[in-house]
Amino acid sequence: MTFSDLGLSPKVLSAVSDAGYTKPTPIQAGAIPHALLGKDVLGIAQTGTGKTASFVLPMLTRLEKGRARARMPRTLILEPTRELAAQVEENFIKYGKNHKLNIALLIGGVSFDEQDKKLERGADVLIATPGRLLDHRERGKLLLNGVEILVIDEADRMLDMGFIPDIERICEMIPFTRQTLFFSATMPPEITKLTEKFLHAPVRVEVSKAASTATSITQRLVKSGTKPWEKRETLRNLIKAEDADLKNAIIFCNRKVEVSELFRSLLKHDFDAGALHGDMDQRARMQMLNNFRDGKLRYLVASDVAARGLDIPDVSHVFNYDVPIHAEDYVHRIGRTGRAGRAGKSFTIATRADTKYVDAIERLIGTKIEWHDGDLSTVTESEGEEQPRRGRGAPRRAGRKDEDRKDDRKERGERKKDRHAKRDEAPEAARDEQPVAEVADIAERRARKDAIRSENERKGSGNRHEQRGDARPQRDRPGRHRQEEDDATVGFGDDVPAFMRIVAKV
């Protein structure tokens, strides 16, 4: 079967041919004909099988007729991450080069103004993350009542990231007569229930067992102690052992903090590494990803933001520095290698604390993962368990290697030198003038305070009573005249009115 047998338009077939593709993948062959007929599609396939083209190509064919109006997109594609959304935009540009379509990308980390301008021109294709889409909708810059095709990509990732309530709100804003294309690599029970709500009589296209891994990937478990420096050493030794076959590698961590720590450790040991996680600026994230794609970086330390759907075609190795807590994430992580029939390797570093997570992964994929150099039973007790926190008087905890302690001391010394160097780089005049200016400023403030205090004391001295026992000085009350000792009225001279001469006897 070729792409010409699927019913795609000549313009789309020409772009596909120019991209170098001749035969569709199983998910493309199963989903594209139904999508062209306007039916709802539920596509299930393991990562790296071409799910993105399964909805991009039929959408391009259907969008050849008609144009979009301002603020009213014709199609909507929801993606869980910014990287996936940007990647889908690249696919539309590549396969839609023979079309004159307006494509709008609504993701976080980018100015609202530029996105508003694209919406004002009218978007034939709107690609968005749920949060930014709702922001534009609430600002009154977007209307969704003209959407003809809705695509929900990586639905299981949407569930993990908590986007399902947002998707439900978005679906309520879209016409009921829309066509919905629903794609995912795994299909947990929660997603199955959602398909009953979002889809209408869908055609189920499942080209592989849900949550299965590619047979072209060699999977291994690697034992390690639980201490961070032990895991880092295990990873370094593993990378060195695979150096002959290793072209490039993605190293996955569970937390963003671990991504930063491991990234700095690899740089310290002269590894050509980069980092990618959700707290990075969008421009920096895209630059780091492009550098890895272009071969400028050999290792990419990443969180699960890089685990879903990213099209990096030739990754030779995947290292799981942490065993993923959710078993489905394991399928997506190792799916970054072994794509399009290529051979790949994945290594997962496991400690005794990770046993339950490893068991969950093996139950999900339906197979046992072999150990690289012996299972956890060969790990000594001092290596496999955390030592208790050291209190006052307790012996220093053992197990940390002298080399790591020396590295830490060296790193602290380098940071101290950097601080002294930055201080010394300042001009001498600036360093000399700063203390003088500060002293002068302090003296001026003190003089001003003393003057104010003296003035207050002078004004208030007449009201103080000389007797020590009188703690409450008498004050004038509004509306009453103070009686002087000589009963004289000041200010009228001899012409004092009669009613003012009456003095109340106290």
Q: Could you tell me if 110 and 281 are in contact, meaning their C-beta atoms sit under 8 angstroms apart?
A: no
Q: Which of 301-310, 403-412, 428-437, 490-499 has the lowest mean pLDDT?
A: 428-437
C-alpha 287/C-alpha 78 separation (Å) is 23
- Residue 389 has what pLDDT? 40
C-alpha 117/C-alpha 141 separation (Å) is 10
Q: How confident is the model at residue 395 (pLDDT cuts 50, 70, 90)?
A: very low
- Has residue 137 got a pLDDT over 50? yes
- Residue 34 has what pLDDT? 96
- Has residue 211 got a pLDDT over 70? no
Return the percentage of the chain with pLDDT > 70, whole number.
Answer: 74
- Residue 268 has what pLDDT? 94
Assigned superfamily of 217-386: P-loop containing nucleotide triphosphate hydrolases (3.40.50.300)
Higher model confidence: residue 103 or residue 482?
Answer: 103
- Residue 188 has what pLDDT? 78
- Residue 483 has what pLDDT? 44
Q: Does this chain's domain 3-206 share its CATH topology with 217-386?
A: yes
Q: How confident is the model at residue 306 (pLDDT cuts 50, 70, 90)?
A: confident
What is the model's pTM? 0.62
How would you classify the pairing of strands 299-302 and 249-252?
parallel
- Has residue 432 got a pLDDT over 50? no
- Residue 3 has what pLDDT? 93
Q: Which two tokens stand for residue 219?
A: 């999977």
In the chain, DSSP finds a helix count (H) and a strand count (E) of 17, 14
Q: Which CATH architecture has domain 3-206?
A: 3-Layer(aba) Sandwich (3.40)
- Domain segments of the chain as ranges: 3-206, 217-386
- Has residue 196 got a pLDDT over 90? no
What mean pLDDT do residues 74-98 have? 92
What mean pLDDT do residues 211-222 have? 85
